[in-house]
Structure 1
Amino acid sequence: MADTQVPAQVAAPSLIPAVVVALPQATVPERDRLPKEGDEIVTDSGKRYKLGPVLGDGGYGTVFLSQDDGVRIAVKTEKFSKSQLKIEILVLKAAMQANCKHFCELIDCGTKSKEFDYMMISLLAKDLHKIRCEMPDRKFTMNTALRVGLETLKACEELHRIGFVSRDIKPGNFAPGVKANRQSRTIFMFDFGLARRYIDKNNNVIPTRKEVGWRGTTRYGSINAHKKLDLGRRDDLESWFYGLVEMTRGTLSWRNVVERQHVQRAKEASRTSGRVQFLFETPSQFDKILTLIDSYSFESAPDYKAIHKLLVEAREERNLRDREHWDWEEETVSTTITTITSFSDKELRAKADQSK
């Protein structure tokens, strides 16, 4: 486009000296400032929470240890403009209302100006990914693996029952409760930053939006996620199954594959020529569970009871009893408390983009 011509009388310099008047600046709250250890959060109700040591952090959020009437809790904070806590709070409120067993208690929540969102939740131990990596051969015993499978399956069922899909099911988003709360026998699901309602106000499944872009974590994402399709309950269960296989075997066929499209091909091969390798040394019931999950469509209501029955059958075949301790409780070293996976800045940016 040609430059605009300015009339000469306008372009001529003024002979009148400019007068600069300093105007008072309004105080603008700092945006996206995360709190630090030692800071205090005062909630809308006037309750005060002193922030203790950092339990987990990333570019957009930090989780702190704190106390609520003498009971240790976690305070999760996220930068205001990047925060996914609103959807997490929505999920936890729905879970509490439905008396779900496998979700943290939401103690308090709110927003600090335009600096950060926060929520106070019950404390959890290390996540299952971290725990598995500390085990001999990086896997659980068959007893613990199957018990974990039953617990995490129930968590998925509860999430779906209250009208949400996770779209990021993985071992790193599950953790046992802490002994101080008498919850160490229960596995909890956490981190709902990518969660989405899949039913409308009339409890009808919201129709698929077809292609929507990538959602989830490459290692555990469903084949539909690789195809960038809308994700439903069956996709959560497919991701859950990959995690179960990994916790049972100690590895996945595509563990060392980096490129997402190559991971997709490995997952597709796990249904055909690579099925034996994928399910090597797992119970025969796993093959049936995979077939069952693959039979579901986007709209299907999964048969959680059938999957549960197959896991119980695998336990009974091996005469496995409900042991008093998990594998990780047999160690003399206590587990470190944490409630969040430490995401890289790149991963956190991706989570923010994918939540739309």
Structure 2
Amino acid sequence: MQKKQTTIIPPSTIIKNRYRVTQKIGQGSFGETYAAVDITTNESVAIKVERIDDKKMVLKQEVIAIKSLQLLACPYVVHYINSGRQDYFNFLVMERLGENLAELRKNRPTQVFSMCTSLRLGIQMIESLEGIHKLGYIHRDVKPSNFVMGHKSDPRKRRRAYLIDFGLARKFRSDTGEIRPPRKNAGFRGTARYASIASHYKRELGRVDDLWSVLYAVIEFLKGHLPWMKMKEKDMIGQVKERETNPNLCKDLPSEFVVFMEHLQKLEYADEPDYNLLKGLLLQIYVREGYNDEIPYDWQQVAAASPIPQQTHVSTDDVPNATSQRNTSTMENFSSSMRNSNASMTQLGRNNSDVKPSRHSLPANYNRAGTQVAEEVVPPVKPRDKKAKNCKSCTIM
């Protein structure tokens, strides 16, 4: 027998004499989201609501996080408009954005994204998280449904993915800027399919855990599944995830994904991820495969998803120097152009190819476009220099 669908507020409800609810567009563990119209401006908005008698009310925390990030000018976070309480529910009014990445993937005939689309989204997801991490927050519920594309009617935003749902967000730094000490039992946080292994062990989550969720999400974009996706029980998912989180998880994917995973495996709770390295790995595939910015996203075209490129052998030493002054400037230019929905990843790749050789430069058997020209056995990945963790990362503000 199916559960009867209920809604917290009915259509046509007027909130604070200003917002008229039109329809329900989403539901999660902690509330519901509705489409609405601002009566005073005739603009479309989204309103998230929760009942005031819910045992787990998280909207207050979400409002605090979004307002703080907005005051600090974080560009890749949904825009806050209003919030408050009416009758029996709390509400949060935000800008109306487009479809989330989970919906967009499931609407594909094959339920996968092409490599080109997956790489673009992966880079944007990393950049969004880098932005909130630099402002002292971790998200703790990173998943495709919590990234939404800008509304299709807005040419400035429709090619950009925005991070939403900060109900589980937490400040990992104290007021003095120090990293907060980890709690012994922090409880499970996140969504089981995408949560890091640390979350299954109820450990304190750090910046690295948000990025584990990005890796799992991008692999799902490309393959359409994860080994544990049909399981329901959290403990069982955690066991399978721990067993399967190894290079085999990246089977049939470019070797950069293994290097991505190996970097995350080296990080502890308090460590800062090398965001430039992770973005550079995905960018390297993008350039090598000859993708360009004229190619539309999968949902903007009817053609089938492109095949996954053949594997190449890379290590962290193969990635263009993401920490050099030249490349940092290039990544800043990339971030700026993405904010204007006119990003040029191919141009970024060309600029990277001009960087002088360094410990992260392409090996001799790669040409300047990043294409492998001869087979070569690459030795195992060397442990990264501890000093590299403190490298200058690109600024997206």
Instruction: Give, in angstroms, the shift of residue 59 of structure 1.
Output: 7.4
Q: TM-score, normalised by structure 2?
A: 0.70
Matches within 5 A, 1:1-356: 34-42=8-16, 48-57=18-27, 61-68=31-38, 69-82=41-54, 83-113=57-87, 115-182=88-155, 183-272=157-246, 275-276=247-248, 278-331=249-302
When Rg is computed on C-alpha atoms for both structures, the one with the higher figure is: 1
1:48–1:139 Cα change, 3 Å:
same
Letter in 1 for 2:159: R
Distance 1:51 1:260 in 2: 35
Please say if residues 249 and 281 of structure 1, whose CA atoms lie closer than 8 Å, have aligned partners that are also in contact: no
Instruction: Give, in angstroms, the shift of residue 260 of structure 1.
Output: 2.6
Q: Which runs of 5+ in 2 are unaligned?
A: 1-6, 304-397
Please say if residues 173 and 189 of structure 1, whose CA atoms lie closer than 8 Å, have aligned partners that are also in contact: yes
Letter in 1 for 2:279: H
Distance 2:45 2:175 in 1: 33
Q: TM-score, normalised by structure 1?
A: 0.77
Select the structure with the greater relative contact order (CA < 8 A; seq sep ≥ 6).
Answer: 1
Distance 2:9 2:242 in 1: 44
Distance 1:265 1:62 in 2: 31
Instruction: Give, in angstroms, the shift of residue 327 of structure 1.
Output: 0.5
Task: State the percentage of identical aligned residues.
Answer: 29
Instruction: Give, in angstroms, the shift of residue 324 of structure 1.
Output: 4.7
SS in 1 for 2:53: helix
Letter in 2 for 1:131: L
2:314 alignment counterpart: none
Instruction: Give, in angstroms, the shift of residue 266 of structure 1.
Output: 2.4
Instruction: Give, in angstroms, the shift of residue 268 of structure 1.
Output: 2.0
Please say if residues 60 and 79 of structure 1, whose CA atoms lie closer than 8 Å, have aligned partners that are also in contact: no
Please say if residues 136 and 171 of structure 2, whose CA atoms lie closer than 8 Å, have aligned partners that are also in contact: yes
Say what the alpha-carbon RMSD is for the aligned residues: 1.9
Please say if residues 122 and 218 of structure 2, whose CA atoms lie closer than 8 Å, have aligned partners that are also in contact: yes
Instruction: Give, in angstroms, the shift of residue 263 of structure 1.
Output: 2.1
> How many residues were matched structurally?
292
Instruction: Give, in angstroms, the shift of residue 57 of structure 1.
Output: 3.4
Letter in 2 for 1:212: A
Instruction: Give, in angstroms, the shift of residue 40 of structure 1.
Output: 0.9
Instruction: Give, in angstroms, the shift of residue 137 of structure 1.
Output: 2.2
Q: Which runs of 5+ in 1 are unaligned?
A: 1-32, 333-356
Cα distance per residue 1:216-249 (max 9 Å; x no partner): 1111111111111111111111111111111122
